[in-house]
Structure 1
Amino acid sequence: MPDPISTADPLGVLARLVEVGEGLVPADLIDTGRALVERAGQRRLIAPGVGVVALLGATGSGKSSLFNAICGAELAPVAVTRPTSTQPIAALPTAPPPAVDSAVGRLLDWLGVHERVRIPETPSWGPSAVGVGPSTVLLDLPDVDSDVTRHRAVAERLAGLVDVLVWVLDPEKYADAVIHHDFIEPMAEHAAVSVVALNQVDRLSDRDREAATQDLTRLLAAEGMAGVDVIQVSARTGQGVPELRARIRAVADAEDVTHTRLCADARAWAALVRERIPQEGVDAPGPSADTSLEAVVQAAGRAIGVERIADAVGASMRLGAARRVGWLPARWVSRLRRDPLRAMHLGADVRGHRPAPDGPTPVVARTSLPAPDVAADAAMRVATEAYAASRTRQLPDAAREQATARLCEGAKQLYDQLDAAVARTDLEQAASPRWWAVANAAQVLTTLMALVGGAWLAVLYLMDRYLLLPVDPPRWGHVPWPTILLLAGLLGGLALAAAGTALARVGAARRRARARERLQRAVAEVVSTSVETPLEQELARYAEVSGLLDTLCPPSR
């Protein structure tokens, strides 16, 4: 049993989802989720307690100017005519403790940020409390809408790794589709670690500034970031920079902001999964055929030949009775007939393989049962598919098709398992009924009587014919005892044989019924193990995946 997953730990839920979602969640998303779990472990080990804040924006939004204003010094190059941030630049905190400085270095190496500058202790302008915190790094990233593919790729990669996202927008392009549709909207789950700055507000009148702010707030709310306030700033005049700096520090200094960011990544991943695998399937009407598990059991029983085997059990007992309780002079005829169970490699051939009461299940040789005919095989496959379709009707199409395909693939091995189950089934061939010994003794006795009577009569005939010594045998009334012995032996043997045969038929019918019941039970166990249990496991796995997705990304969201 897996350890319980705390719903308060989205990363634990994500790890479990990646583990159990194989085959249910699209492979590309499983790979993404697995990479996220691995990245989360690395991030928390590399630099715990150190945060990374990144400024993201489109060309001309003034990121670099705002970066310098927050740091209080000209650390990033600024140009009016073209973008200048072609590589990310990291502003390191002023005089951090050695442990923090070492952790910052490891973290930036992991992020792949090589251009690093130190925020000066004495800023060139602005208040003395510059930067975004004593253990927080500020990044200036390339433009997210850059025409240079590798510049945009760098921005996209780091946007997926940093702890706090500061979206820098300008009055002219604050509603630009690239930054909203490609970046902000997909990262709506990251609202708790996001800050939005409307830069260059000094270019607007008070009325236009408020209108732009309200419109941007509306856009953010429509994209799932209703709780994120828009901060009006001007990197050129310094307006709003202290407020922005304070807001960034508040978000970055929140308890375990790295964990918050990673949890947001987990929820965003879950939202993508939910889009790809809807949580509820179509309640389509079931197939017209019987869709119960019992229908599969019956079809499997017909395919493996339960009735044929049960008939062979009855015939085998009747044959055994003919050899043990039949009329002794005619038993040689029954010896010419082959035991039908032996023909199937059942019964006497597997007596030595019976399991001990507390011992392991023995290895049983294959039987010689004939392969199922085409009709029986098709009927079993149809019953299996109908059962699977009935049980998975509530699943989405992809999951239903996958579950049915897995089940039908496993059903290909069903005949081997059914064959082994039949071979292990006790068909009551190891012992004969006790009355057979008594009947056999009676048959031997009657035969001896007939032999004695016949021999006696033969001796009397030879003495009278060849020795001319007529001997008058003892009589019972008028009937000689030799004749009585001969007739009693013959007629008694025939009567005992007839009675024994009748009793054997009754016993054979009962044994046939018991064997049929055992065989049906064995077939049901195989079907349960090979059909029902895998399907239940698949349904349970999908239910767990759905529950974990609901934990990370509730349907109402």
Structure 2
Amino acid sequence: MRAIRRTPPGRRRDAAAEPLAVLARLTQTGAGLLPADVLESARTLLDRAGQRRLVAPGVQVVALLGATGSGKSSLFNALCGADLAQVAVTRPTTTQPLAALPASPSPEADGAAGRLLDWLEVRERVRLPQSPSWGPAAVGLGDGAVLLDLPDIDSDVRSHRAVAERLAGLVDVLVWVLDPEKYADAVIHNEFIAPMAEHASVSVVALNQVDRLHEDERAAAVADLRRLLAAEGLHDVDVIPVSARTGQGVQELRARIRAVAAAEDVIEARLAADARALAALARERIGKQPERAHAADATTPAALEDAACRAVGVDLVADAVGTSMRLEAGHRVGWLPLRWLSYLRRDPLRALHLRPDSNDRGAVPSAAAPRTSLPAPSAADDAALRAAVHMYTTARIGRLPAVVQERVTGRLGAGTERIYDSLDAAVARTDLEQTCRRPRWWGAANAMQVLLALTALIGAGWLLMLHVLDRYLLLPVNPPRWGHVPWPTVLLLGGLLLGLLLAAVGTVMARVGAVRRTRRVRERLRHAVTEALNELLGTPLEQELARLEEVQALLDSLCESGRSAPGSGDAGVGSR
């Protein structure tokens, strides 16, 4: 028998209540990531915890659970000190749960016990006698505990088994009643005891009918049962050999159950154990999260960016910016006699709805830019983009459990369907340097072109006048000369040739500027595309992975939380 060592009530209550607070946080954070049935079970548990605390916080319910023939009803009578439950050779004997109420509780405690049994839907109730009619000189488990005799957990009658399973999930203290013949039964351990390993702090194991064993057989059976329980995670559960027929061990069992049930935080401990068991199930369902996908192929984001830029036409827009700048430069620095030809070419930015009107120059681009007229991506570019999106997503979540991959991909699906709209809007909002001031040298070059054109016109007019005077008025005039060349010819040819040379130089300089602008705009467009991809895929994916990390941390916190309990473990139990 283990010696009881109390811990401060406040400390125990805080430690026990913490798993439920973590579970409440888990239901909020895990929405969409955890399986729906796990989330529903968590919400049900939180709701049940609130109801249990309100119904009868000062009353504890202890249930005897066991397989057919384990002698639960006989042990129930032995603990009660009276023949209250029906005992017979035929099976099953117990068809409905039977509650044994304290002999003389206070009116408040009696009312609380009644409300609690109503909540548990236990209709059959008996009152313990004031003094035992047989067996050890003790009655029941105390004024604040109700003892339940449940139907067989392995009953062939499905309704009986359902009642036992339901109440096993609601009572505060679990007393597993085993017998020498079936204490190692795989069905009992695998389907009932092992899944309740988290409830070791509120569990007691009784090996009944030990009067049928010799002393050495009894010791071997107890040791073997302890080994089985330890392998299933119930290391700190006491195994108490008992005989309901002879009364052997009944007092020890009663004292052990009383110690567990009378602990101040037993209700919270049971609820916390439920939370840990649910967390263990959730962690098993979603799997253990591997390391974050920072080790994903570094080329995958770049491949996605390249595919998106090709699909949305970044190069097309950047080249159009360069072409537009060259056309506008032609309007300003081109050779004046042929400058009109540049107006015959259509500005590609206007065709794409990416160039503001001339009267909008200097205005700030609107954040809500209109849609562009970029051509739809080719089938090859569209397929490449979708493949890149899939590869990027897979690289980030490919090592996650399949069930989590499916949920994350489903939550990202809506974003990927809007990818072209978002990319088009990103291009439309990008500064293409169409509202900035023209280079200053354009004005100077244009003034020089006008001056040279006027010079050529003066020379041409002078030559025309000399021709008219000589041919029609017979007044030969000898014009001034620059060397051997008449000045009118110098003015005409000089104005034309210098204008042509200036246009050639201006065109080269404009092309250099257009190349630089094209490079800047291309980088700006790629940055805008990257931001749009981050908004659609990167950020939501990071948020989902962060949520998954938080869910995993909460599950780990629940599963690894202290399992010390009333009367056992570090918080409440000393050494044997």
TM-score by length of 2: 0.84
The letter of the residue matching 2:529 is V
Task: Determine which of 66, 78, 90 is the counterpart of 1:69.
Answer: 78
Please give the residue correspondences for 1:128-167 in structure 2 after superposition, counting only pairs within 5 Å.
129-167=138-176
The letter of the residue matching 1:41 is G
**Which residue number corresponds to residue 501 of structure 1?**
507
**Which residue number corresponds to residue 110 of structure 2?**
101
The letter of the residue matching 1:378 is A
**Which residue number corresponds to residue 221 of structure 2?**
212
Task: Determine which of 406, 415, 426 is the counterpart of 1:410.
Answer: 415
SS of corresponding position for 1:9: helix
- Of the structure 1 ranges 424-433 and 31-40, higher mean CA displacement relative to structure 2 is found in 31-40
**Which residue number corresponds to residue 238 of structure 1?**
247
Task: Determine which of 182, 191, 199 is the counterpart of 2:191.
Answer: 182
Please give the residue correspondences for 1:510-521 in structure 2 after superposition, counting only pairs within 5 Å.
510-521=516-527
**Which residue number corresponds to residue 14 of structure 1?**
23
Task: Determine which of 308, 311, 320 is the counterpart of 1:300.
Answer: 308
**Which residue number corresponds to residue 548 of structure 1?**
554
Per-residue deviation, residues 305-324 of structure 1 (Å, max 9, x unmatched): 22222111111100001112
Partner Cα distance (1:229, 1:7) in 2: 21
Structure-2 change in CA distance of 1:105 and 1:439 (3 Å): farther
Q: Is the 8 A contact 1:306 1:516 kept in 2?
A: yes
Offset of residue 365 of structure 1: 1.2
TM-score by length of 1: 0.87
**Which residue number corresponds to residue 434 of structure 2?**
429
Partner Cα distance (2:177, 2:287) in 1: 35
SS of corresponding position for 1:171: coil
Partner Cα distance (2:399, 2:509) in 1: 55
Q: Is the 8 A contact 2:17 2:268 kept in 1?
A: no
Please give the residue correspondences for 1:376-415 in structure 2 after superposition, counting only pairs within 5 Å.
376-400=381-405, 403=408, 410-415=415-420
Instruction: Verify: 1:224 aligned to 2:229, yes or no.
Output: no
**Which residue number corresponds to residue 61 of structure 2?**
52
Q: Is the 8 A contact 1:70 1:130 kept in 2?
A: yes
> What are structure 1's unaligned runs of at least 5 residues?
none
- Of the structure 1 ranges 178-187 and 18-27, higher mean CA displacement relative to structure 2 is found in 18-27
- Of the structure 1 ranges 61-70 and 243-252, higher mean CA displacement relative to structure 2 is found in 61-70
Offset of residue 115 of structure 1: 2.4
**Which residue number corresponds to residue 6 of structure 2?**
none
Q: Is the 8 A contact 1:290 1:383 kept in 2?
A: no
Instruction: Verify: 1:265 aligned to 2:274, yes or no.
Output: yes
The letter of the residue matching 2:385 is M
Offset of residue 363 of structure 1: 1.2
Give the total of aligned pairs. Answer: 546
Offset of residue 422 of structure 1: 1.1
Offset of residue 480 of structure 1: 6.1
Offset of residue 522 of structure 1: 1.4
**Which residue number corresponds to residue 181 of structure 2?**
172
**Which residue number corresponds to residue 536 of structure 1?**
542
- Of the structure 1 ranges 483-492 and 214-223, higher mean CA displacement relative to structure 2 is found in 483-492
SS of corresponding position for 1:55: strand
Q: Is the 8 A contact 2:206 2:241 kept in 1?
A: yes
The letter of the residue matching 1:47 is A
Task: Determine which of 277, 295, 312 is the counterpart of 2:320.
Answer: 312
Structure-2 change in CA distance of 1:192 and 1:353 (3 Å): farther
**Which residue number corresponds to residue 348 of structure 1?**
356
Partner Cα distance (2:101, 2:399) in 1: 54
Partner Cα distance (1:463, 1:300) in 2: 71
The letter of the residue matching 2:308 is A
Structure-2 change in CA distance of 1:283 and 1:538 (3 Å): closer
- Of the structure 1 ranges 397-406 and 198-207, higher mean CA displacement relative to structure 2 is found in 397-406
- Of the structure 1 ranges 211-220 and 305-314, higher mean CA displacement relative to structure 2 is found in 211-220
Offset of residue 353 of structure 1: 12
Offset of residue 28 of structure 1: 2.8
Q: Is the 8 A contact 1:281 1:393 kept in 2?
A: no
Instruction: Verify: 1:446 aligned to 2:455, yes or no.
Output: no
Q: Is the 8 A contact 2:364 2:435 kept in 1?
A: no
The letter of the residue matching 2:203 is S
The letter of the residue matching 1:446 is L
Partner Cα distance (1:401, 1:273) in 2: 16
Offset of residue 470 of structure 1: 4.3
Q: Is the 8 A contact 1:283 1:393 kept in 2?
A: no
Offset of residue 326 of structure 1: 1.4
Offset of residue 75 of structure 1: 3.1
Offset of residue 260 of structure 1: 0.9
**Which residue number corresponds to residue 380 of structure 2?**
375
- Of the structure 1 ranges 263-272 and 539-548, higher mean CA displacement relative to structure 2 is found in 539-548
Please give the residue correspondences for 1:484-495 in structure 2 after superposition, counting only pairs within 5 Å.
484-495=490-501
Partner Cα distance (2:453, 2:462) in 1: 14
- Of the structure 1 ranges 499-508 and 225-234, higher mean CA displacement relative to structure 2 is found in 225-234
- Of the structure 1 ranges 488-497 and 135-144, higher mean CA displacement relative to structure 2 is found in 488-497
- Of the structure 1 ranges 364-373 and 342-351, higher mean CA displacement relative to structure 2 is found in 342-351
Q: Is the 8 A contact 2:136 2:250 kept in 1?
A: no
- Of the structure 1 ranges 255-264 and 130-139, higher mean CA displacement relative to structure 2 is found in 130-139
SS of corresponding position for 1:347: coil
Partner Cα distance (2:361, 2:16) in 1: 52
Higher relative contact order (CA 8 A, sep 6+): 2
The letter of the residue matching 2:401 is P
Partner Cα distance (1:181, 1:434) in 2: 86
Per-residue deviation, residues 293-314 of structure 1 (Å, max 9, x unmatched): 2222222222222222211111
Offset of residue 217 of structure 1: 2.6
SS of corresponding position for 1:348: coil
SS of corresponding position for 2:501: helix
Partner Cα distance (1:44, 1:356) in 2: 63
Instruction: Verify: 1:118 aligned to 2:127, yes or no.
Output: yes
Task: Determine which of 363, 372, 378 is the counterpart of 2:368.
Answer: 363
> What are structure 2's unaligned runs of at least 5 residues?
1-13, 564-576
Structure-2 change in CA distance of 1:279 and 1:427 (3 Å): same
